[in-house]
Structure 1
Amino acid sequence: MQSNDNVKFEQRGRIALLTLNRPEKLNAINYAMADRLLALFDKIEADGAIRAVILTGAGERAFSAGGDIHEFSRSIRNGADEAVRDFCRRGQALTARLETFPKPVITAVNGIAYWGGCEITEAAHLAVASEQAVFAKPEINIGIPPTFGGTQRLPRLAGRKRALELLLTGEPFSPDRAVELGLVNSMVAHADLLPAAMDLANRINCHSPLATSRILAAVTRGINTTIDEGLLIEREQFARMCATQDVHEGLEAWIERRIPTYAER
């Protein structure tokens, strides 16, 4: 395990486990934590031994309560240009990195997921929530819209009217509701949260990592285009796979009724 003051990194087989590590601050994301996460994602992308990422929070209370209000309030006092540069662009860069990452990113939401914590969950490819999780979009309570992409991703996940109700009231909602809205894939008992996230990652990791990356790219790029443009993206991703050894191995393994070698790498 590697760690610093704000993020822990642990490799468990082919899975990277990242833990937001400011439990005394409800894992609020300060600028240093956001920068550390971006650096870790760069490292993980370059490591061929890692095929999936799980992101969770330290402690028993929170996944993440969002941005560090005390820190970004100083940026706001210094003017819009500084606030946009230091807070908004940094947060949007983080969620965009998660959304477009070429390996599956799974959030294991162990408690409070407010503000940016909810937006990270929106951006991640997949999410599992503890029965003790609670979500909210409370930015309106301090007079701002969400700044890490929440005004864009939540309506795409939940639909415009359901998203606007959450964005305009700031009211918390349960993990059951998060499942219904499409924000998370499933809710599990608190003690089962990390095992459930690991199981999901392992069920993905038994397949070709190249095909996984191509599917992620096709869905992420295609979801906000027309169907014709999306189909073109799909064809491009298929064509990129055709020249790879994984396709030939997958076809041969299927015909020979055996496990493909990439499942064992």
Structure 2
Amino acid sequence: MSEPILIEIKEGIALITLNRPDRLNALNFELIDRLMAVLDAIETDASVRAMILTGAGERAFSAGADIHEFSGSVRQGANIAIRDFVRRGQAMTARLEAFRKPVIAAVNGLAFGGGCEITEAVHLAVASERARFAKPEINLGMPPTFGGTQRLPRLAGRKRALELLLTGDPFLPQQALEIGLVNRVVPHGELLSAARELANRIIPHSPLAVGGIITAVTRGLNMAIAEGLQVESEQFAALVPSHDLGEGINAWIEHRPPLYRGC
């Protein structure tokens, strides 16, 4: 059996590929568990400064949850379905959202259901002009379960999100760009190079500052602004004794490039 996740680390960027192309990279339990293990490894690997997440093959980023597999959990009742399916998927998207290194989705094809929810959760996204998005869970008689009822309205606004959630209609990458689901749309052949270019604009900066910004934004979105400002203050305070903040200030004063250590 092939590995459900492929990993390639080059020049500070980890390229992570969902590798079930014969199943349109559907998210089965094994793939989700393996992705979580990969995130654990990358988090502590100082050589990795950013991550790009894409799908194997030419057809799909991910067509969503593996329906054949999770239907077995549903047949065993709500407690089993929530334990095996819902909590697993929500833990995956929450992990991606809170990851302190930037995660960029390179959406190369279908991003339906759970694939769309991954796109919602990651920090940045670049879509191929061939990408297609949808929230089709309504067609199965269920709501999204990996965070789609919560993250999409925060990105797109309540009414635009509800139209997509309640109809299940597919939508094009340009609409995904307009509603804030992706950052840009590029020709298919330029997808990975565009994702790498975006990553390379981030990784020269202090990894401590990058992680602090991600944490402040991710946590603050779910708080009142006063609480969010407190999180922002805490992230800054954690940087005050670091080498990186002092080096960044000194480099600016001395008109030279900073030499960050991530400490």
TM-based fold match above 0.5: yes
Match of 1:10 in 2: 8
**1:21-43 Cα shifts (integer Å, max 9, x gaps):** 00010000100000000000000
Q: Percent identity?
A: 65
> Following TM superposition, by how much is the alpha carbon of 1:262 offset from its aligned partner in structure 2, in angstroms?
2.1
Question: 1:237-248 counterparts in 2 under 5 A?
Answer: 237-248=235-246
**1:38-62 Cα shifts (integer Å, max 9, x gaps):** 0000000011111111000000000
Structure 2 CA distance for aligned equivalents of residues 125 and 96 of structure 1: 11
Q: Does 1:88 align with 2:89?
A: no
Among 16, 19, 22, the residue aligned to 2:17 = 19
Structure 1 CA distance for aligned equivalents of residues 224 and 241 of structure 2: 27
Structure 2 CA distance for aligned equivalents of residues 106 and 112 of structure 1: 16
Give SS of 1:224's match: coil
Match of 1:229 in 2: 227
Among 171, 186, 189, the residue aligned to 1:188 = 186
Contact kept? 2:4, 2:18, Cα under 8 Å: yes
Structure 2 CA distance for aligned equivalents of residues 181 and 240 of structure 1: 34
Structure 1 CA distance for aligned equivalents of residues 129 and 145 of structure 2: 27
Structure 2 CA distance for aligned equivalents of residues 231 and 243 of structure 1: 20
Contact kept? 1:16, 1:50, Cα under 8 Å: yes
Q: Which moved more, 1:6-15 or 1:113-122?
A: 6-15
Question: 1:49-128 counterparts in 2 under 5 A?
Answer: 49-128=47-126
Give SS of 1:60's match: coil
Q: What TM-score do the two structures reach when normalised by structure 2? A: 0.98
Contact kept? 2:244, 2:261, Cα under 8 Å: no
Structure 2 CA distance for aligned equivalents of residues 4 and 255 of structure 1: 52
Q: Which moved more, 1:145-154 or 1:220-229?
A: 220-229
> Following TM superposition, by how much is the alpha carbon of 1:248 offset from its aligned partner in structure 2, in angstroms?
0.8
Q: What TM-score do the two structures reach when normalised by structure 1? A: 0.97
Q: 5+ residue gaps in structure 1? A: none
Contact kept? 1:207, 1:263, Cα under 8 Å: no
Structure 1 CA distance for aligned equivalents of residues 3 and 218 of structure 2: 32
Paired residues, number? 263
Code of the residue aligned with 2:222 in structure 1: it is N
Q: Does 1:130 align with 2:128?
A: yes
